[in-house]
Amino acid sequence: MTDKKPRILSGIQPSGIITLGNYIGAIRNWVELQDEFECFYMLADLHTITVRQTPADLRKRSLELMALLLACGVDTEKSLIFFQSHVPEHTQLSWVLNCYTQMGELSRMTQFKDKAAKNANNINAGLFTYPVLMAADILLYQADLVPVGKDQTQHLEICCDIAQRFNHALSDTFTIPKGYIPKVGEKIRSLQNPTAKMSKSDANENAYISLLDDPDTVIRKFKRAVTDSEAEIAFREGKDGINNLLTIYSVITGKTIAESEQEFAGKGYGDFKLAVGEAVVSYLKPIQDKFNDYMNNRDYLQQIYTKGAEAASYVAQKTLRKVYKKVGFIPKG
C-alpha cells in the first residue's frame, strides 16, 4: 500500500446475516475500491454490543464475516482488514473525543432516537456515545474518505465537528474526512415487499437471500418472490417486484436492464424467477466455496486478522501519540 492513494475507511458490524443486498450495495464496492484507494476495512464488533448479543453467537458471526469478506474478494495485499476490538486505540481515542463532544450534539442524533425506541429496555450509554466511537474509528486513521449512506450522514457530520473542535483548540491534528458516495451500489429490494430494501433483520426469511443460502433455498425464495398481476417482464414504474428481479439479474450477469428485458421477452414470470435464482446460485458458488475453505482453515484466518490488527494499530498509535501529547498526558517513554 502507498500513502499516495487517498485513504478510505469503512466498517461493517458482525450483527447478523449478510444478504445479497448487502453484497451488491456495499461489499462489492469494498472490492472495487481497493485499486483506487488505500483501504482500511474494519469489522465493527465494539459497535455491535450496544445491542445485547449472545457472546458465542457474536464470536461465530465475527469469524464468519471475516471469512466471507475475504471470500468476496477483499485482498489483504491491497487492504487492511481487522477486528475493531483488536485495536485498543479505538477506545482510547474515543474517551478523549468524548471530552470534546457536547451532550446536545449526541441527543440530536436521529439514529440514537431510532435505536432507543427499538431497544427501550436497554438504552445504554454506549448507544448514546456511539457516534463518538465512530468518529474515533475514522479520525484514528486520518481517513480522507468514508463511504456513507443516508443513515450515516449525521454521524460523519458530527465526526467532522468533533475533529474541527479539537483542531481549533489544540492545533491541527485530524484530517477532516469527506463522505464518499460509491459509484456502484444498486439498491436491492425485499423479495416479499419490493418497496422496502432487502434487510438481514427481516422477520420473513423469504424476503432476503443470504450469501450462504444453499442452492435449493435460493431457488425456493426466488420462486416465491412477489411480482405483479401482469405478464410482461419490463422495467417500469409500478412494477417494483419485476424491477427488483431485473436489477438482481442484471447485476449478477453483467447484462444491462435492456438486454435482460430482451432475453425474457415473451416468457412467463415462473421461467424468469427460476432463471434469476439459477444465476444467483452460480454466482454465489465460488464465494461459498472460498468461504468454506477459510472456515476450514482457522489458523490462516487468525494469521490474517492478527496481521491486520498489528498493521492498523501501527497507524493508529501515531495518531494517538499526537493526541495524548496535545491534551497534556505524560508519554510512557
**Sequence-separated contacts (24+) of 118-121 with Cβ below 8 Å:** 119/51
* E strand segments, 125-266: 145-147, 178-180
Residues 245 and 166: their CA atoms lie apart, in Å, by: 48
Active-site positions read 115, 197, 200
Q: Mean of the pLDDT values across residues 278-306?
A: 97
pLDDT single digits (tens) 33-81: 999 999 999 999 999 999 899 999 999 999 999 999 999 999 999 999 9
Q: Are 14 and 61 in contact (CB under 8 A)?
A: yes
Same domain, 115 and 251: no
Query: What is residue 138's predicted lDDT score, i.e. its pLDDT?
Result: 97
- Enter the C-alpha cell of residue 94: 474515543
The total number of structural domains in the chain stands at 2
DSSP 138: H
Q: Are 322 and 173 in contact (CB under 8 A)?
A: yes
The model's confidence at residue 289, banded by pLDDT at 50, 70 and 90, is very high
For residue 262, the enclosing domain spans 205-292
Q: Are 126 and 49 in contact (CB under 8 A)?
A: yes
Q: Which of 145-154, 233-242, 277-286 has the lowest mean pLDDT?
A: 145-154
Same domain, 150 and 258: no
Same domain, 140 and 272: no
Q: Mean of the pLDDT values across residues 203-225?
A: 96
Q: What is the pTM of this model?
A: 0.91
pLDDT single digits (tens) 98-125: 999 999 999 888 877 777 777 778 888 9
Same domain, 236 and 256: yes
